[in-house]
Chains A and B, each alone.
Chain A
Amino acid sequence: MLQFSKFVAIRAALAILTLVLVSFIVFTLMELVPGDCAERYVAFKNSQGSVITPEDIQIERIRLGLDQPYVQRWGSWIVNAFQGNFGDSCILRVNIAQLLGQKFYLSLGLCLSALLLAYAIAIPIGILAATSRNAVLNNSLRLVSYLGLALPNFLLALMIMLFSTVMFGDSLTGLFSKEFRDAAWDYDKFMDFLGHAWLPVFILGWSATAFAIQTVRALMSDEIGKLYVTAAEARGVSGRRLLMRYPARHALSPIINSLGFDLNRIFNELPIVALILTLTEAGSLLIEALARSNDQQLAGAIIFMLTGSIVAINFVTDIILALTDPRIRRSIVG
């Protein structure tokens, strides 16, 4: 037990260190964007018709604390970020936590469901592909997983959307019907959400599934050839019981280990899919912030939160692995 808590503590410290490094990278990026928040605000005011002088910019800078040295601002940003406070958006002048809030959890929910879908499909199919000697099945699965890469999600989303617009007159876009958009969460809104969310989940899960099938198949074929499987077979275990109790258990632990990176890959696709399907969540907000309004505060907060959830997943999977596999527990601490 002591060993285990030591393991958890070390992992947690490493996760926090990673987050600090990430925050440094993200913060530096935000600083590198030409122009700062004060200028952007003033430019916005200018476009609204009020006359602004250079002194006003200076006052705004001081108000936002932009006159302080770089390291100090980074320090306060990261301290606030860990408390879930990202300051105000440059353009929208709203607190970012408030602006993002629900939208970020929507995105996270979509991505996690896509991940779940991917493995729910990939684990049985991957095991089947690894055990079967059927060349046609194997080759067609290989082609499908290659297509998962070559037919990027945004193209797939586009095709499905255009097709349904033309065929059914419904573009399948958005996350909520009009009457639920601003309503509070209740059963009806939730059902409405599910009715819209299956398409983004499917599209986000598409290439993830293709990758996952490849991984599961490769891991399973490695394990199946090993001697302990033959030994178990010789003792008379066979069929599904053999697969589940011996090779599958071993093949799955590297998969748990890589869940964080799978989530990373899904996050990659999120902004673009969100743009096409006009989802009102964090991915489209990120594109909005980067491509249109140049809102560095908002963009930095979103990237940091996305990375933060990956780090969190990595931490959780590490703990799960350590719980199930005593070797891992010992190796990292010792």
Chain B
Amino acid sequence: MTDTSNTDASVDQKLKEAYFTASQGQLIWQRFKKNKSALVGAWILMFLILSGIFAPFLTPYDATIAGRDKDYLNGAPEVPRFWDENGFSARPFIYTAERTRSIKTNFRWVTELKTDLEDRRYVTFFSKGQEFKFLGMKFERHLFGVDKDMIHIFGTDSTGKDIYSRTLSAIKTSMAVGTIGVFIAFVMALIIGGIAGYYGGWIDSVLQMITDTVRTIPSIPLFMALAAFVPDVWSAEMRFFFISIVLGFIGWPTLARRIRTHLLTERNQEYVLAAQLCGASSSHVIRRHLLPSFTSYIIVDLVISFPYMVLSETALSFIGLGLKDPVNSLGVMLQNVTSADVLLNYQWYFIPVIFFIVLVLAFVFVGDGLRDAADPYSDASK
């Protein structure tokens, strides 16, 4: 009897010890795990990011014009099936589509499905396909494919590019633009907000004035003005980097303000005074004492600002000032749905839109959950 209570107490003691010695990161993770919607968001986000990174393997075809299917333009999604009137098949298969034009179709091109047994295309896994490069190595195995011709589970666009392949590669591009943008914004915010917050006084006032002015100018018109510089002769990659940099240059003020406010309150704390009295240099105080005190907040801020970067990229590409073909980004994909023709005849163009909404929603849920988790008083207030 006493034994069990002893072990209980020791377990309790251990738990308490673990709680008190836990790092900031561990505490945040503990609180984050309790938030169900944020956790689901995190799983979805992870799934989307991974599928973006491994896009060349997960998708059967190249996302650029090199992977086009010239026999299946504006083709409907082909959903693999297991049976039809010709019988059951253990291997999933799709039908062969053929475009025909005759007096019967009023001389318009019409896609006809051939449902005969010999026209089945069987889905194969880990099949050989177009070569792609990943981490500097060459591969030619894709997750799935079909034994003859091609498969398009999300359909194809007007040039015959596979929408499924394009969507995954668009996620990758948009995430890359967002990452570079957030990184640049973060470095600028750290420098400007750090200087303003640490030195205070008139330096702070001047920097605050500038930060507030940049914050006042509506950012999308400013983006547009900056993006209008891009000469038409630039390659897609140059354009990509330029747009990311522009996003970063405009995203910094909010972050800089947060860093400054935090530094202003922290630098008057006693532990900073103690370090200074011990003879620590400015850079030592900033690196060893001030920065660790709010890394977790910065990470949270970065996650929260991420969807805004993705949204801005989308908006820019949407009006034709951002990324352009052959680069696939979510904005480029959204641009494709802007005609009534799409809504009436080619509804599958909207599939990337769903991915886009889910991606942004997942980010917002995770960001919100992280913000609650990083706030040490969030439990106390409930």
Contacts and interface: CB of A to CB of B under 8 A. Distances in A.
Contact of A162 (B216, B224, B314, B340): B340
A303 B221 contact: yes
B285 interface: no
Interface string A240-284: 000000000000000000001100100111011001100000000
B338 interface: yes
B217 A22 contact: yes
A310 B222 CA distance: 14
Given A260-B216, A307-B216, A310-B216, A149 B344 contact: no
A166 interface: yes
Contacts, number: 115
Contacts of B221: 267-268, 271, 286, 302-303, 306
B358 to A, nearest CB: 8
Interface in A228-249: none
B199 to A, nearest CB: 21
A158 interface: yes
B328 to A, nearest CB: 18
Interface residues of A, number: 48
Interface in A148-172: 149-152, 154-155, 158, 162-163, 165-166
Nearest to B357: A150
Interface stretch (A29-37, A85-93, A175-183, A319-327): A29-37
A215 to B, nearest CB: 14
Given A150-B357, A152-B314, A154-B318, A29 B225 contact: yes
Contacts of A154: 315, 318
A162 B343 contact: yes
Contacts of A158: 337-338
A136 B365 CA distance: 17
A82 interface: no
Interface string A284-317: 0011001100100001101100110011001000
A318 B58 CA distance: 55
B218 A290 contact: no
Contacts of B357: 147, 150-151
Interface in B334-358: 334, 337-338, 340, 342-344, 353, 357
Given A162-B340, A291-B320, A21 B222 contact: no
Nearest to A306: B218
Interface string A18-43: 10011001100100111000000000
Contact of A290 (B219, B228, B315, B334): B228
A18 B318 contact: no
Contact of A150 (B222, B315, B338, B361): B361
A120 interface: no
Interface string A199-211: 0000000000000
Contact of A271 (B220, B226, B334): B220
Interface of A: 17-18, 21-22, 25-26, 29, 32-34, 146-147, 149-152, 154-155, 158, 162-163, 165-166, 225, 260-261, 264, 267-269, 271-272, 275-276, 286-287, 290-291, 294, 299-300, 302-303, 306-307, 310-311, 314
Given A271-B220, A271-B224, A306-B221, 4 more contacts: A149-B311, A149-B364, A154-B318, A271-B319
- 7 closest A-B pairs by beta carbon, nearest first, are A150-B360, A267-B218, A268-B220, A21-B213, A162-B343, A290-B228, A150-B361
